[in-house]
Structures are given as structure tokens and as C-alpha cells.
Copies of this chain bind each other. A is one copy, B any other.
């Protein structure tokens, strides 16, 4: 176990706070609720960005950049939107040494300002669909901050699209949800439930909100991304209209969708262990760390020479770092890179040099079981295979963990036990009051109405109130 690190199994919350800072991913800023993302954390974000950005572009989206400052009056144009975001706004009242005529809101999300521009840019059916995305910072004032999970400022991408029909907007919202789910599973190695948010949990101003929900290491749920079909709500509020083929002026149908630096929190909470982080190879800033082991100067020369050869062979293929610092012992380095979650370690000592081999050690398989010797001649293939194995096994373990803590209670007693342990898929009447009672009594919230759910049995009853169930909902305690 990394020295002085709280055990994940003993105090998950404390473990998380420590690991984010000890691994130099992020730290709190002097302004309450804000954070600095340090180079190691930001490199993880860059890898997340690159893979998502590629998927967005492949599906026809273009990046743009919209203004940080939104006139306060814009936020008020959509009734649910202003109600949802008003308590979280940061407000600029002075600029250039003078008090502003109208206060400016620092964007909490950009539906309003983008709606304003869409109304200017769209005039004909030929301008549709309009598919844009921006990578930016947003601000939502946060009283109980948590690094990556809840901060007053965070980084995200927000996609905004306009379409000629409800069906197209719906298809777009679902396409993006699929992209998010695919990213979560293939890149972040986190299995997710895709679902629709209930009326009380949906985005302020949306017609339908979709979500991907993952189970963290403490068995709580985390909303990892959302995709909203906004109907015509923002189109009407901002006058986004187009002249259709039939020469009629019509309102567009819009969507918005986003994932944020919160994803980093998810990756840490799903895969980490008592030793620290375990980063999925596809996203890890450093995929392979090479640690030389030596005592004498002569051994050092020999070992570092092999390190160099390993770097040459692997450097262009994997993200690799040779830790040749003299001031730390090999053992100290093992702990350090385990804590920082590097998925694969290559150890090279004098005996390995003599035998023409190196030793590989998997971060996700502790002890002797995860270590094996590999001849230098076959190193490239073995390392690439090991990284794939780790990626696959991380997803498998996360799925097994989630499934082991997922329940399908049919009555209130079973439901209470289920949400103590993890996820509860339960028949629900669809009533917001019932949903609120469940939360008040169990602290479990309605995470979503899963898209992929079995038909309810005839006569199924709401797990809380006993009235006829309308569908199955996923309840869990959540971040």
C-alpha cells in the first residue's frame, strides 16, 4: 500500500480526496469551489477530448466558440431554464472600471447564447441540420465542492444542434448518447446504463433528457454524460426559425449534450484501489513506465543501456516514460507509479540484462501473479497485448462489480436493502411525489428510466406506493 494513503475500502471519500492530490491530478484553488487541473490530470483530459472529438467530427459536428458572457436577460427567456440555473450563477457587474448597464452571467451552459446565434444563422431548410460543439469552461456556483465531481468552474464539451423535425432531434440526442456510452465502455472501461431522466430530474428546458449512469467503487451512481432533446422550447424562446420547402416559416427542433471533467472522477472512482489509481490504457497519459534497477555504477550503465533500447522499440507505439532518476530507489518508484495508476511497468535489473529479458508488471493484478519475464526480442507484441488485456479486464471487473451490486427488488423492504448495497431496478408508478418520498426515506434518487429494460410483468406495482407501475426505474444513491 502507498505510504500513508487512506485505504479505499476503509474510507472511500477520504481515499478519493487524497488520491487526486497525491497523484497530482488536481488541487483546490484559492477561490472556493474552483480547481486547478495539473499536467497529469490535464493529459488525461486531453486523451478524453481527442477520442470524443474524433467521434463528434466523424458524425458531422463542427467545433466553434461562443462567448463566455451571457446577458442576464437571455437566461430569463426560457422559464424552466432560469429557474434551474439562477441559484448557481456567477455575475459580472463591473467591466473596464465601470458598472455595467446590464449584469453579465458567466455561462453555466450555453443554450441561450447559442440559441441567439442559431436564430441569426439559420434561415432555410438548407441550413439544417446545424451541428456544432464547443470545448470550454463553464461556471456553476458550488457550495460543497469536490475535485472533478463538483466544482464551481469545470471544463466540458457542449454540443448544440438544430433540426427540421422532432424525429431528427430525437435521433441526434440518441446518437450522442450512444457515442457517450461507447466512449465510457471502450475507452474509460466503465459499463453504463443508458436511460431517460424522469420529469423531475431532466435538464431545465428539455423535452427529454438522456443520461449514462455508472457505478462507482463505493456503489454510488454517477451521471457521466447527458444528451437532451430540447424540443422547440429554446427555438421559441430565441426565435430559431427556418423557411421550409413548403415556403412556411417553422421553428427548429434543438438538442444539447455534454460531458465534463467529471469523467476523470469516474475513472478514478471505478478503477482505483488501495495502492492508488489504475488508469485504463487507452486514456492513460503514461501507458508504460520503465524502472531501472541497479546498485553499482557498472550495473547502472548496463541497465540504462537496455532502458534506452526498450524506449527506442516502444516509444513510437505506446506512451512511455523511463524513470531514470538517480535520487529515488526502484522500490520508491514502484510505489509512485502504482499510486499514479500507470497500467504497465517494465522492470530492468542486472539479472534481466544478463538473461536478455525484462520483467513486466500489471498494475491491475497485484503481486507475483501480475509479473512475468519477457525476452527483449518479443517485447513490442507482449506490451501491446498486455495493454489490451488490462483494458479488457478493467471493464470486465467493473462490470462484475456493478452486477454484483445490482438488484431487482419488487417490494419496499427489498428496495431499501437494494439501495443500501447499490443499484435497484424497480417498478415505479411514474409519480414525482413518490420519487421524492423514496429519496427522502432512502437517499436514493431516480437515476433514469433505462432504455433497455424488460417488459414489466402484468400487474406490476410501484415498489413504493403499490399503485400500478408504469415502467422500471433505476434508483441509487448518487453523486
Contact = CB atoms under 8 A, between A and B. Distances in A.
B96 A93 contact: no
B63 A36 contact: no
Contacts of A117: 27, 36
A458 interface: no
A431 interface: no
Interface string A27-46: 10111001111110011011
A236 interface: no
A153 B70 CA distance: 12
A30 B116 contact: yes
Interface string A356-381: 00000000000000000000000000
A62 B43 contact: yes
A87 interface: yes
Residue among A38, A69, A117 with the highest chain B CB neighbour number at 10 A: A69
A62 B34 contact: no
Contact of A34 (B30, B67, B141): B67
A121 B88 CA distance: 31
A152 interface: yes
Interface string A317-347: 0000000000100000000000000000000
The prevalent SS among residues of A at the interface is mixed
B86 A65 contact: no
Contacts of A136: 137
Nearest to A124: B327
Interface residues of A, number: 57
B95 A93 contact: no
Interface string A57-100: 00000111111111100100000000000111111111111000
B126 A327 contact: yes
Contacts of A179: none
A5 interface: no
A65 to B, nearest CB: 4
A89 B98 CA distance: 10
Contact of A31 (B71, B88, B143): B71
Interface string A291-326: 000000000000000000000000000000000000
A463 interface: no
B95 A92 contact: no
Nearest to A37: B65
Interface in A149-174: 152-153, 155
A216 interface: no
A474 interface: no
A113 B153 CA distance: 15
A449 interface: no
Contacts of A63: 39, 42-43, 46
B69 A153 contact: yes
A104 interface: yes
B113 A29 contact: yes
A230 B74 CA distance: 41
Contact of A86 (B31, B37, B95, B97): B97
13 contacts: A31-B70, A34-B69, A39-B62, A42-B65, A68-B106, A69-B90, A86-B97, A87-B97, A89-B94, A95-B141, A96-B141, A96-B142, A106-B106
